[in-house]
Structure 1
Amino acid sequence: MSSTQFLADVDAMFDDAVACLQLEEGLATKIRVCNATYVTRFGVRLDGRMHTFTGWRSVHSTHNSPAKGGIRFSPGANQEEVEALAALMTYKCALMRLPFGGSKGALAIDPSDWSEAALEKITRRFAQELVTHNFLGSAMNVPAPDMGTNERHMMWIADEYRRHRPQDINAMGCVTGKPVGGNGIEGRTEATGRGVQYALHQFFQTETDWRRAGFASGEMGALRIVVQGLGNVGYHAARFLSEEDGCRIVRVIERTGTVTCPEGIDIVALRAHLDRARTVIGFEGGEVAPPDASDLEYPCDVLIPAAIEGVIHEGNAARLQARLVVEAANGPTTYAADRILRDRGITVIPDLFANAGGVVVSYFEWVKNLTHIPFGLMERRRTEVGNHRLARTLELMTGNSFPEEHESTFLRAGAEIDLVRSGLEEMMRSAYAAMSRLVNDRGTSVQDLRTAAYVLAVGEIAAAYRAIGL
């Protein structure tokens, strides 16, 4: 899918939602358009030669500040792709009711072409450009990892910002997705994959929705799942769903090939093989085949596209054999394909919601950086003492010992990772409930979860503009 088509598809989905709302004249256009895009072309001398790199940072909306969104390193990156992704960030943050506007950034490079030392120089130079032009800072614009970047890149950016703004006491809040030892937060690395798992939990806890999708029960243990992309998001989603919920990952689709095993793939073993060999070829835990255009059409209950945009399109949507699509990637379904899936009765849990786990936990990390105190520090010991006293009182009153299997969960106060997971699950739960209510409300014209997500998001943004008199 071209970047032009990607942006047009996001706008078309936005327009479908606007048709369900009563907005003042001109407000829809204000919400839809991108506020600003900064384009930079900077030089870095590497091994005695000057190289020129092109980067973008797009701010779609500042109805809330700061603007929030990842930075990707991709050779195919361009301005229209960045603006489409920034728009999705605006709507995603609004749907999850986070106090952020939407932003996105990219560098047109392939990280595998460069050494770690070269990547550090390139990343730091990009950060310098963002700082100089006010596209980086805890109160203005807060990046996070995306395709081709990770916590190491975020740490380089944070350190560079701190060098240029030593007087900013909140400097470490200028990016999220940092390592825990660098003022990050527990659970951020796997947050998007964990959010995908929670999205499925909420769907299967909502009887009207799983029945409409053609499932016989709300039990997840028998689900057959196909995952496209075993990067950070796909890996963690597949691992949690298989290890904790008993689902079978029957196919994994990677750019180097496809692994299929009807009995279920060992995701940890496959990821270890990928890390060693950089290819699925040679993996012994399933049938390995070369990449094929029909890979997504394998029979399954749930399809999880977790890589790039536009993989479900007009050419294959009619042949998908899943009953449920969970969009772990940004924009994996084109607008035309979405209408085909809707007409076929295939339910789509949209990207605005399904992959929001990353930005939700980024919000927790940002709050932690601004407050300069770890989550739970002030109340953890008090909670533990109170729980122990309650348990001992119950033992005296009943004459029975407190069950050992509950000691670890009840007597021990929540650590940071427990609080992060609890907060993420609560935000996913409340957002899904709002979407589902809208779809099941016969008084509205909203008939699918994607439109519901956009309607809720646009409504939140419109309310923010009205509050300031726009």
Structure 2
Amino acid sequence: FLLEARQSVGRVVGGINASILSQAARSRLGVRVLGRCGDLEGRWLSTGTREPVSYKHEIPEDEPRLLEMVKEFYDRASELIDIDEGEMELIKGCDAVLRVTFPFKRKDGTVSVIQGYRAHHSRHRLPVKGGMRFSSSVDLQEIEGMASLMTLKCASVDVPFGGGKGGVRIDPEKYTEHELERIVRRFTTELAKKSFIGPGRDVPGPDLGTGSREMSWMADTYVKLFGGTDIHAYGVVTGKGYSMGGIEGRTEATGLGVYYCLREFMSDKVVMKRAGMGEHAATNLVGRSFIVQGFGKVGYHAALYIHRAGGKIVGVSDRKGAIIRRKGLDPVKLKEHKNSCGTIDGAYEDSDLDEVFRDEDVPKLLECEADVLVLAAFQQQIHCDNAELVKAKMIVEAANGPVTPLAEDILDEKGCVIIPDVVASAGGLTVSYFEWLKSLSNVRFGRLTKKWEERNKLMMIEAWEEIGGDVDADKRDKILQGPSERDIVFSGLADSMIVAAHQTVETSKKLDCNLRQAAYVNSINKIHESIKHAGLLLA
């Protein structure tokens, strides 16, 4: 009876949405149509401002929200796994969610109510790990969905954490730096009061709308509260500034991880054949064309390393514009222009470009021809209404959830290979794990071994020269140089991404499924093994 009643309510809401609000009206009012909720039929309305104009689009009514989208991917993978239905529900469900509200007095004297969320999707391993985002689009279902993805990411790259996610529902661009600091410190205090933060419990990191500045504020607040009794207090967050115990290489970690991951997938003959790019995988990235949607930290560094490896960046977009140049784009030139002007638009003269998109036309970049499309912007960018228009042979999910289930079905039919987010965008998580380890040990990576390694290398060179070998001065200096923290971090990141990519490809071949299903199967199996060996407490 309850199910039928909720379905009826859903149909009524859907009818109101269809009959009263036109598509244009919904856009003007900032009202978004959200898809199915679980197995309920009906449409649900959610108010709130959307993301910047370049990523603004109406999500089709047939598409689920992010949380239901992730659950749908879980269900598709579960059909390939021999796991009890109840155990699968345990793995899929969210362990705990915290919602806090607090009053905030602004500089002009007005008072607003701030809403914040933190979700612990799975505590099968502790601490849980996940970003902290500041965005006007933040809501509970988004946070739960992102936390669920984090659980899968951790398992994918063998990081011994559970998945979490948090956010504050504000537009950070509308607040002063001092106001943002007060919000961060108050929210951190609220999390601490509810035991939703701590080096061994929950370790946030930077995400949409936050960075090392906000993470440093969070760390300082926690240390002020608990530093006297917790020697590992600075391990409470990752992505901190280096002077606060951060780690070298964290800024470029996600984008570099995308590159490592893409390089491995494009080195596999079966994957390349599926994508219609031939079996000659030895060519790898060289000469291939790439479009990058989103030119923030992730998009820029992914483009930079792809460019250095011989790939041709033919298209890029940011919040204000998108450009296509078939001769190739220089990521460094684009970055320098964006740093000075706030956008990539204008880095090249329009006459030197093949296509330029501005304002509401920016999403048309997704429809341009390229071998590989890197999605580094926002969730649900490719959906059932535009998937058929995508011409790329391969898609890399450098953002969280940029391709919906219905879009994936269409792309699979077209032969487009999708490298899933739970593998491709796990580089930041991996290096955050390294930073957490550094905070626990309170010592820089390489500090204890760098000179010892240099001494051993010197002994090897001297032995070689004693038997008549010769090493010129430049090579000698390079060989003798011990690894820096950045070298060690990048080495560990490369290994993690390579192993995850190989595991995904092997499972895909074994089960004859797409790469997302393979990645989910691998992660779910790892989580299930952890839960099985731990046992169910008080069950």
- Is 2:315 aligned against 1:245? no
**CA–CA distance in structure 1, aligned partners of residues 517 and 132 of structure 2:** 27
Q: Which amino acid aligns with 1:334?
A: T
Q: 1:277, CA displacement in angstroms?
A: 2.2
Q: Which amino acid aligns with 2:293?
A: Q
Q: 1:405 to 1:468 in 2, by over 3 A?
A: same
Which of 89, 103, 122 does residue 183 from structure 2 map onto? 122
- Structure 2 residue aligned with 1:85: 146
Structural mapping, 1:444-459, within 5 Å: 444=511, 446-459=512-525
Larger radius of gyration: 2
- Is 2:194 aligned against 1:133? yes
- Is 2:390 aligned against 1:325? no
Q: How many residues align?
A: 465
**CA–CA distance in structure 1, aligned partners of residues 95 and 426 of structure 2:** 22
**CA–CA distance in structure 1, aligned partners of residues 368 and 476 of structure 2:** 44
Q: 1:320, CA displacement in angstroms?
A: 1.0
Q: Which amino acid aligns with 1:388?
A: L
- Structure 2 residue aligned with 1:400: 469
Q: Which segment drifts farther, 50-59 or 222-231?
A: 50-59
- Structure 2 residue aligned with 1:270: 334
Q: 1:129 to 1:469 in 2, by over 3 A?
A: same
User: Any idea what SS the aligned residue of 1:26 has?
Assistant: helix
* Matched-pair contact (CA < 8 Å) for 1:59–1:67: yes
Q: Which 4+ stretches in 1 moved above 6 angstroms?
A: none
* Matched-pair contact (CA < 8 Å) for 2:357–2:365: no
Structural mapping, 1:63-462, within 5 Å: 63-166=124-227, 167-216=229-278, 217-218=280-281, 219=283, 220-242=285-307, 244-284=308-348, 287=353, 288-291=356-359, 292=361, 293-397=363-467, 399-404=468-473, 406-441=475-510, 444=511, 446-462=512-528
Q: 1:2, CA displacement in angstroms?
A: 3.9
* Matched-pair contact (CA < 8 Å) for 2:317–2:365: yes
Q: 1:200 to 1:124 in 2, by over 3 A?
A: same
**CA–CA distance in structure 2, aligned partners of residues 69 and 6 of structure 1:** 16
1:435-457 deviation digits (Å, cap 9, x = unpaired):
1111122xx3x411100100000
> TM-score, normalization: structure 1?
0.96
User: Any idea what SS the aligned residue of 2:444 has?
Assistant: coil
Supply the RMSD in Å over aligned alpha carbons. 1.5
- Structure 2 residue aligned with 1:19: 79
Q: Which amino acid aligns with 2:305?
A: F
Q: 1:51, CA displacement in angstroms?
A: 2.5
User: Any idea what SS the aligned residue of 1:401 has?
Assistant: coil
Structural mapping, 1:29-40, within 5 Å: 29-40=89-100
Q: Which amino acid aligns with 2:93?
A: V
Q: 1:147, CA displacement in angstroms?
A: 0.6
**CA–CA distance in structure 1, aligned partners of residues 396 and 472 of structure 2:** 38
**CA–CA distance in structure 2, aligned partners of residues 336 and 88 of structure 1:** 18
**CA–CA distance in structure 1, aligned partners of residues 244 and 106 of structure 2:** 27
Between 1 and 2, higher relative CO (CA 8 Å, sep ≥ 6) is seen in: 1
- Is 2:113 aligned against 1:52? yes
Q: 1:404, CA displacement in angstroms?
A: 5.0
Q: 1:264, CA displacement in angstroms?
A: 1.2
**CA–CA distance in structure 2, aligned partners of residues 289 and 438 of structure 1:** 40
Q: Which segment drifts farther, 267-276 or 186-195?
A: 267-276
Q: 1:281, CA displacement in angstroms?
A: 3.5
> TM-score, normalization: structure 2?
0.84
Consecutive unaligned residues in structure 1, runs of 5 or more: none
